[in-house]
Structure 1
């Protein structure tokens, strides 16, 4: 009998637990969770804001604050844990009543306009240190970033990017206290006075994403190692004038988890060192608009996971076939080598880049022909080979690229008939694809292939013919100008010529006037009699 009693007791306990859970869930759904003190704090917070679009006035109504737009409460306690104010078009004053939200974990004020006012120091005390996510991006805060933000010791994500132009921080030592930080974005915050910024960053062992784009960092790319950044996956330092070279001992090559590296427009010079091959986890490498020269290292072959490479607008000088051979073809999808000093021709070996979707070799010194093997890159979506010295015919295999949506072969020395194909016919602005290639013919160009073949086979005669036409027009212009000046000087120095000319024009005018007047009078008289 004892065993059935234990089963009954167990069922009763389970039933009570279920009823308690159901009661809490029903209470939350019935709207009884909003903490009155926190509701009052939210209303006072709203009262300090300017709300020109009435985005809050129309939604922050009623007793149940947990149902207000942008307010998220805990289902268990009813405390406000998230305040989502992204792009609500608000501004004004952030009042201290926000401190009443002691359980706040997420605050998003991004995409608003606070008129260049400084970030309030009170934000550094929000949620009694419980705050894990803070986003003030695109909110037009200005002035100095308060070091009080370093008190938010539980922060996981801090985004202060693209605020007012006058926002700055003379140092970022306060960042070193945010030891749990995983995401740090402070793009366009003036850090020009922050000398030892790498030391503060090195104190963040959990950091996974660092964005210091256009922060005014100058001549401060230290070569010392940063051993604590073992979790860093994304590093963006675009638009900082480092004006130095990246030696083999630079700390950027010793980030074992790095997947994305962007150093665009940083004034970096010299050759790309062999140490780049240590970034075996890298997927995106952007070193565009710098002063890299010479050849790329053989160690690029080690980057088996590389998907995007942008080395455009540098001074890289090597054969394009050798450069392509030094890239790992396994996963490469986008390759931009435009605006360099590459030589050679588009090689047969390009077929190895089987996953390639985008290729740009514009503005180089390429010559020779385009290999037919380009048609084997069936994933290609965009190809830009413009502004080179490429000659020969356009390979017919290019019409087999069914995914192609952008093609630019302009300003080369291509000749012959333009290939046809359904995909080529569907491309936008077909005339501009082939402009600057006088030897091309056939649709979509108006030039007849027969005539083009003649011209292409006799380039010397074509050039002489053009020269003769130009000489004829030039002679006519010079003769006209010379004759005009002779007449002008004759009138200027010969008084009899001037008197004779004006007398002649007066007689012609008088005769014409009399003829017109008499004719008009006769016509008017005939019409009145009729």
Structure 2
């Protein structure tokens, strides 16, 4: 799976949009509401310290500041309650400059959004910890640097805190913001969303203890924070409301069982867990069975090994909908070891690409009746594709490419009316490709079956009439010069003896039949050579 943007960034954007919409819908300021004069002056002083190359603040003039762009006032009192100062995502003209303490005049401000700006590496002002009415503070991706001021821990009313410090958390980047500990976070007992992805927390040894004191916390984003070993888990945890944890790309580099924050705490509400590229090794611990509310588990890019990757307790995770362990070293037998340990009740997505899975797809795969996506490419699967695959009526995406599968493609695939993506390339499949309206609607059909020299029938140009048109083996390429010579001779003969050939075809029916058979043979061979070369080149480019 490609990673264009991290899940943490997407979730925080959606959360911000939701809260912004909720605030805008619940407290619109009518045209008759006038802002407080001293607050208007504070806003003008704040504007004077900023640089605004895109003229985002051009509306900040006149008497009524409640009508200015990015400003919202209370219906009843006229006090400024929301301030959003940024040009929006990916705008080339970013707001910058200095954040002046005149903001402290806005004592009724409960929403402040200064994200997606460029403050030139300046530190986050300490005085922000005095905006005691704030319920939401967004400072993400605004080019702040230095230590996050612990004074932010004085904002006891905060519900939403986002200080993500990276525009793209899928690639390593240099840290700009740091926090030597998270003791200040432990005082934000109303906090529901905490986003510190991309902030250097490598020195925060007791981070798990600080976070465990947040009884209202629902969403936690700590990807790419340099987190390592943790202290023993606290005796009591208040994280009973926690629903989502994103902790990918932290150098834990240890066995799963050592991550006490996840496995040894009581997390009855946890639905989403992402710990990709964290250097985990060994198998998933038995304690995973305690996460009975878990719906999505992402563990891609670790070093998970062994034939007992999934403990027997994994069956207890009955609400699981999505499971991804791409790019690991799992060497389980699919039929005898893997399927028996997966919770089958609600599973919709199963992604185990690029592992060491063996065995064949058993008839028991039909028990995953809710499955919409099944990705098992680049493993060591062998045997035939079971006919029961046709019973997965909700299957939308199916990838078995780059395995050792043989035999015919089951006809049941053509009955999967929801199927939109199929990849069976680079196996040892043989026989006629099943016909069916659904299979004919798939995009890039030739690439679906490429690398299976024994397949024939549409959409391939290799027919199934019994004529031997198997692609040339590598050792036969030495005769390529002879083929070129034949083509050249044919062209010369065609130019010189056009009238002879034409007359011969006109009166000799046998000549016409042999010529067209030969033409079909050569067309098929050239088509397959070009297609195989193109697909191989594209994969090398993506892999590099």
| Shared fold, TM over 0.5 | yes
Deviation at 1:226, TM superposition (A): 5.5
1:280 matches 2:292 = yes
Distance 1:387 1:225 in 2: 48
How far did 1:410 drift?
A: 0.9
- Of the candidates 355, 366, 384, which is equivalent to residue 381 of structure 2? 366
Q: Determine the C-alpha separation between the residues in 2 that align with 1:150 and 1:468.
A: 72
| Residue 38 in structure 1 maps to residue 39 in structure 2 | yes
Q: 1:100 aligns with which of 105, 115, 121?
A: 105
Are 1:351 and 2:366 an aligned pair?
yes
Cα distance in 2 between the residues matched to 1:91 and 1:248: 43
Deviation at 1:220, TM superposition (A): 3.6
1:195 equivalent in alignment to 2:205: yes
What is the correspondence of 1:173-322 to structure 2 with a 5 Å cutoff? Answer: 173-220=183-230, 222=232, 227-247=237-257, 250-253=260-263, 254=265, 255-294=267-306, 295=308, 296-321=310-335, 322=337
Matches within 5 A, 1:448-467: 448-451=463-466, 466=473
Structure 1 CA distance for aligned equivalents of residues 331 and 113 of structure 2 = 47
Tell me whether 79-88 or 394-403 shows the greater mean CA deviation.
Answer: 79-88
SS in 2 for 1:107: strand
- Find the counterpart in structure 1 of residue 476 from structure 2: 469
Paired residues, number:
438
DSSP-derived class of the 1:45 partner:
helix
Q: What is the DSSP-based 3-state SS (H/G/I as helix, E as strand, rest coil) of the residue aligned with 2:228?
A: coil
Are the equivalent residues in 1 in contact too, given 2:209–2:233 (CA < 8 A)? no
TM-aligned CA distance change 1:222 to 1:336, over 3 Å: farther
Which protein has greater RCO, CA pairs closer than 8 Å, 6+ apart?
Answer: 2
1:407 match: 422
Q: Aligned match of 2:146 in 143, 161, 180?
A: 143
Per-residue deviation, 1:473: 7.7
1:12 — aligned with what?
none
TM-score, length of structure 2 as denominator length:
0.76
- CA apart distance, 1:420: 2.1
Q: 2:157 aligns with which of 128, 133, 154?
A: 154
3-state SS, counterpart of residue 449 of structure 1: coil
Q: In the aligned structure 1, how far is the partner of 2:305 from the partner of 2:220?
A: 27
Show CA shifts across 1:403-432 (max 9, x none): 222111111111111122222222222121
Structure showing the higher helix proportion among its residues: 1
2: CA distance, partners of 1:445 / 1:76: 71
Taking the aligned partners of 2:192 and 2:363, their CA distance within structure 1 comes to 44
Q: 1:208 to 1:324 in 2, by over 3 A?
A: same
* TM-score, length-scaled by structure 1: 0.78
Matched, 1:436 2:417: no
Separation (CA, whole Å) in 1 of partners of 2:253 and 2:259: 17
Provide the residue aligned with 2:344 in structure 1: 329
Q: Deviations 1:428-469 (Å, cap 9, x if unpaired)?
A: 2212111111111122222222347x578xxxxx9xx84763
Instruction: Report the equivalent of 1:118.
Output: 123
Specify whether residues 96 and 467 from structure 1 end up closer, same or farther in structure 2 by C-alpha distance, changes over 3 A only: closer
Q: Show CA shifts across 1:17-74 (max 9, x none).
A: xxxxxxxxxx9635243111111111111111111111111x2232221122221111
CA drift at 1:160: 0.5
Q: What SS does structure 2 have at the residue aligned with 1:173?
A: coil
Change beyond 3 A, Cα 1:225–1:188: farther
User: Is contact 2:206–2:231 with CA below 8 Å preserved after alignment?
Assistant: no
**Which structure is larger by alpha-carbon Rg, 1 or 2?**
1
Partners of 2:285 and 2:469 lie apart in 1 by: 48
Q: Which runs of 5+ in 1 are unaligned?
A: 1-26, 457-461, 475-530
